[in-house]
Structure 1
Amino acid sequence: MSHTVVIKDIRNVTHDVKRIRLEKPSGYSFTPGQATEVAVDRDGWRDEKRPFTFTSLESDSVLEFIIKIYPDHDGVTEQIGQLTEGDSLIIGDPWGTIEYKEEGVFLAGGAGVTPFIAILRDLHNKGEIGNNQLIFSNKTEEDIILKNEFESILGSQFINVITREEPAGDHVFLDGEIGKDFLKSQINDFGQAFYVCGPDAFNESIMDALKELGADPEALVFEE
């Protein structure tokens, strides 16, 4: 079932990421980590559906998405980047992507952090952040999505990794991508759950490294 929903607020989170808040259809429900198909309510684009994860919570009065805009792709996100308050999106029913199972380590690459936002917000609201850890890899400091919120929710359990430039802030700089040695230096227990989401190459390399370090394949949760 599809719903046409009006944008109530749209603003920049980073230089190429937007936060979009929409009216919430009556009775519409989802769980943290779930996504839906989204299309732009414009001629020629209504059948161009793309999956995006909800970053709002079930208890919120609005629906929220945090979406990276690719203006050079001439696609759906480029269209979304042109929208303003009062424009509409078309959303479908929610479906599962990443589901929280137990305390562990969240590993995100760039906009791959979006499935983790609602999960971590929900745990924070319940007072259940516990020992959960977020290792978040970005190319530059200006790419970091919701840096202040993650710092507030997770404190020292939020590890920022910058891979393209020496950061000025309190971040970890890696000249290259996250690998086995870095994971070994940051993680004490490879018997816990791991949640992985990012570009395909990021997911594959992280999953391979975790398995080599002794992680249980059954405890690896990733977006398929």
Structure 2
Amino acid sequence: MATHRLKILEKEPVTYNVNRFRIEKPAGYQFTPGQATELSFLRSGWEEEKRPFSFTSLPSDDYLEFTIKSYESHQGVTKRLGEAQIGEEVEIGDPWGTISFKGEGVFIAGGAGITPFISIFRDLREKNEIGRSKLIFANNTNDDIILFEELKSILGHKFINIIAEQKDTAYDVGTIDKEYLKENVSTFENQYFYVCGPPKFMKKVTDSLGELGVNSSSLVLESL
């Protein structure tokens, strides 16, 4: 696998614990919206700590972008990246991943699980191919919603938010379960279901979709 040592060009906060990083793009580097790569932060002692992150830029952009949530309670790579400065270096490998756009459908994301969908939605907007696709996005609080304004501009009323831990939210309150899916999805046939999020979230959502009659061939998930 090829590796590339690249400088951080821009760092911008997206939420209170999420940053957008734009880094150099190697000549000829190509990926498909939805794919990821392994990235390590080239600060002393962290060079071998590789973690998977999804590209959130478009393949046509002249930079690579990652939208990364920093977990302050973990003394790990994401916390170090939250401290990173412009000009510091990261190392990435080849692109990989099985999440890609197969056709119109329902995208279901939990927290930072939105990241592989960002490039997909940006690409569909560029092509004017959003069509009937919709997004159901689960978070703990309003402040956790990543790129709310952009996703709203892309999807309009097809952008549904559900909040688990904030009672005064203007959005739906609770978690995504079988009943919630029945209320917010018009049909469970002849469309794809794209699901990404923490493991427990993934299991709950995919089990619920299975109970609602969704065939495994209609599920687009990351293969681990």
- The residue that corresponds to 2:73 in the other structure is 72
- Give the CA deviation at 1:167: 4.0
Q: For the Cα contact (< 8 Å) 1:141–1:167, is it kept in 2?
A: no
**Preserved CA contact (<8 Å) 1:140 1:167:** no
State how 1:135-214 maps to structure 2 within 5 Å: 135-169=136-170, 171-174=171-174, 177-191=175-189, 192-214=191-213
- Pairwise mapping of residues 1-224 of structure 1 onto structure 2 (< 5 A)? 1-169=2-170, 171-174=171-174, 177-191=175-189, 192-224=191-223
Structure 1 gap ranges (5+): none
Deviation of 1:23 (Å) = 1.1
- Residue 40 of structure 2 aligns with an amino acid whose one-letter code is A
Relative to structure 1, the CA distance from residue 122 to residue 167 in structure 2 (aligned partners, 3 Å threshold; closer, same or farther) is farther
1:42 Cα deviation (Å)?
Answer: 1.6
Counterpart residue identity of residue 205, structure 2: I
Unmatched 5+ stretches in structure 2: none
Tell me the secondary structure at the aligned position of residue 40 of structure 2.
strand
Residues in 1 aligned to 2:18 and 2:199: alpha-carbon distance in whole angstroms: 20
The CA deviation at 1:78 is: 1.1
Deviations 1:108-167 (A, max 9, x none): 000000010001110011000000000000000000000000000000000011111124
C-alpha distance after superposition, 1:70-119 (max 9, x if no partner): 12211111111110111111111111231110100000000000010001
Kept after mapping to 2: 8 A contact 1:140/1:163: yes
- Secondary structure at the aligned position of 1:70 is classed as coil
* In 2, Cα distance between equivalents of 1:50 and 1:127: 33
Runs of 4+ in 1 over 4 A off after TM superposition: none
Counterpart-to-counterpart distance in 1, 2:168 and 2:128: 31
Aligned-residue sequence identity (percent) comes to 52
Aligned-residue RMSD, C-alpha = 0.9
Bigger drift between 149-158 and 71-80 goes to: 71-80
Q: How many residues align?
A: 221
Alignment partners' CA distance in 2, 1:59 and 1:184:
37
Q: CA deviation at 1:25?
A: 0.9
TM-score when normalising by structure 2:
0.96
Q: Is the CA contact 1:190–1:213 (under 8 Å) kept in the aligned structure 2?
A: yes
